[in-house]
Chains A and B, each alone.
Chain A
Amino acid sequence: MYGWIWRHLPGSVALRIVEAFVLVVAVVALLMFVVFPWVEPMLPFNDVSVR
């Protein structure tokens, strides 16, 4: 998977390192700001009130 992505990044090695870094940052941002806030309410902790 990672090997496949690396082979398909265009440009020289230096450029590809930069591209890989940008990809990692994009994925982390997607997780932090979209996926985790969406998943969080469904998980069984952080429920602090009594019903």
Chain B
Amino acid sequence: MSTSDEDPETTQVPATGPESSAAGAADRPPAPPRPRGGRARTAVRGFGELLITLGLVLLLFVAYELYVTNWKSGNLQREASAQLDEEWRSAPQGERQLHVDPADGEAFARMYIPTFGADWSFTVQEGVGPDALEVGPGHYKDTAMPGQPGNVGIAGHRVGKGAPFNDLDLLNSCDPVVIETGDSFYVYRVLPMQNEAGGWADGKGTQQRCNNVAPLQDKQDAYDETFGRRIVLPQRGDAVSPVPYKARNPLPKASQAALLTLTTCHPQFSDAERMIIHGVLTNQYKKAEGTGYDDLLAAIGEA
């Protein structure tokens, strides 16, 4: 390194006249004579610069996670949303049945959470792989489809990648989560929290918006662990079982409640645990020509 630094100066001296060497000197002041141990000095300085560079790269990575991934996912979500609209528009009203098996990564439904604002909506993709989740929330394959008895499992990012489930911790019992398919709107409402379940019938359960929402365990013991919000370890795959937290399904399909389960990482910025939100189907509206989500919001009293 040090020898190559000196090269241009040593070759310039005989080749150029006094004026140009003066100009060159103004441009590029001669390096001060290197003290002994210059090599060690260079090494230490190089190491310091490397550390500073690594710090800058880490900062850049944070910016990437928080902003660049949002921007990329926003584009993907816009495309998926436009495609889903097109698909629904092109199919005649009567034939807009939900695909029984949407292709991997294909958007097949749209979800709304009015609590997060009337403009909060994302398409739901089939599968919970990284590619599907980059577009928006993903539906666990092999879990129920919207409206069916059993458990509709949906995962979504909480940080970066559009962060659809960023505010999932702000959901309270009875808050609606709406799933729109080709022919229907399904309104799920968050189940009572564990500390509310006891006095539900005389407490929050009396509110108008909590119609059809009641602690599930009152009717079926199998739902003894199913509450509005739970924090579990990532290994609890049974959170999206037909009967949550029962890996071996204890109930026949006909007596299963129609549930919705949202999963995201917890605490925020970590994936040590998962936040789970459970909701129950309370209403179902067939889509009529000329009506949309705004009309639905008015109908369920969330406008």
Contacts and interface: CB of A to CB of B under 8 A. Distances in A.
A18 interface: no
A49 B263 contact: yes
Interface string A26-43: 001001100010011100
A39 B64 CA distance: 12
Given A4-B1, A32-B60, A36-B64, A48 B158 contact: yes
A13 B102 CA distance: 60
Q: What is the size category of the interface that chain A forms with chain B?
A: 20 to 34
Contacts of A36: 60-61, 64, 68
B130 A41 contact: yes
B5 A50 contact: no
Contacts, number: 78
B161 A46 contact: yes
A28 B38 CA distance: 31
Nearest to B264: A48
A12 B26 CA distance: 11
B45 to A, nearest CB: 8
A50 B265 contact: no
A24 to B, nearest CB: 10
A22 to B, nearest CB: 17
Contacts of A48: 128, 133, 155-158, 165, 263-265, 271, 274
Contacts of A28: 60
Given A7-B5, A12-B27, A45 B237 contact: no
Nearest to A2: B49
Interface of B is mostly: mixed
B234 A51 contact: yes
Nearest to B263: A50
A51 B153 CA distance: 12
A36 B67 CA distance: 13
Q: Is the interface of A mostly helix, strand, loop or mixed?
A: helix
B140 A45 contact: no
Contacts of B57: 31
Nearest to B271: A47
B232 interface: yes
Given A1-B50, A2-B49, A32-B64, A50 B271 contact: no
Contact of A46 (B1, B45, B157, B234): B157
Interface in B8-58: 27-28, 45-46, 49-50, 53, 57
Interface string B153-188: 001111111000100000000000000000000000
Interface centre among A12, A32, A41, A49 (most CB of B within 10 A): A49
A7 B29 CA distance: 11
B270 interface: yes
A50 B133 contact: no
Interface in B205-256: 232, 234-240
B158 to A, nearest CB: 7
Nearest to A33: B68
Contact of A50 (B46, B53, B232): B232
> For A3, A12, A47, which residue has the most chain B Cβ atoms within 10 angstroms?
A47
A9 B46 CA distance: 18
The 6 closest A-B pairs by CB, nearest first: A47-B271, A49-B155, A49-B128, A1-B49, A36-B64, A51-B237
